Amino acid sequence: MNWTSLTSEELIGACVETGDPAAWEEFVRRFRPVIAGTVMRTVRRFGERAPELIDDLIQETYLKICANRCRILREFKPQAAEAVFGLLKTVAFSVAQDHFRGDLAAKRGAGRREATLETYTESAVAGREGLPQVEREILLREIDEHLAAVTEPAARGRDRQIFWLYYRHGMTTRAIALIPGIGLTQKGVESAIQRLTNHVRARLAEVKLRSPEGKSSATSL
């Protein structure tokens, strides 16, 4: 299924009805800009600019969207094309407002990631500045190939989605666990990420050792 070809309404329907992690990955990719933009504007109105706070509130927005088996999305009845953007702005604004009322203060930081790849690899996944685009794409492809090699066939699709939702899209383990198609608890997601991270790190190290110059194929360009 080519999720990128679906309309926003069709994509939401697929996320709610199938719970397919790949559909949710497209959901995050497509709608993160509007969620993040709304959160940032709201936070700045209260005189705050801390990136950590903004990231926390973006994650809280995902949690609210996924709560109660995605009730917000299931009950949404669009009145116009792309009305979902208005819905997501409303949810993000509500989450940010609630934070400054003190309702979400105790929840900040829940499910934040602990396991990391090597600094160079993590920079590539996150798309940070300073890494050449061609080199980044090669490294991402290399990581994806390693993921395919270290995961069991039955869980390969799910594990790959967990890995990329976490590292590429920045979702917390708590938010990932709420996606219906994942089928794991937060602890299960954390365990999967730790296992996959260790496997990928080990395979990248093997490639580096085999390289004549002690570098992976990506870093030797």
Instruction: Determine the pLDDT at residue 12.
Output: 93
What is the phi/psi pair of residue 195, to 5°?
A: -65, -50
In tens, the pLDDT along 52-63 reads: 999 999 999 999
Distance CA 160, CA 22 (A): 9
In tens, the pLDDT along 58-115 reads: 999 999 999 888 989 988 887 777 788 988 998 998 888 888 876 434 444 455 444 3
Q: Which two tokens stand for residue 205?
A: 């190290």
Percent of the chain with pLDDT over 70: 76
Least confidently predicted of 29-33, 92-96, 124-128, 146-150 = 124-128
C-alpha distance from residue 1 to each of 87, 98, 119, 166 (Å): 25, 37, 33, 22
Asked if pLDDT for residue 205 goes beyond 80, the answer is no
Comparing C-alpha atoms, which of 12, 104, 7 is closest to residue 58?
Answer: 104
What is the pTM (predicted TM-score) of this model? 0.58
Instruction: Determine the pLDDT at residue 109.
Output: 47
What domains can you pick out in the chain, each with its CATH number?
3-107 (1.10.1740.10), 119-210 (no CATH)
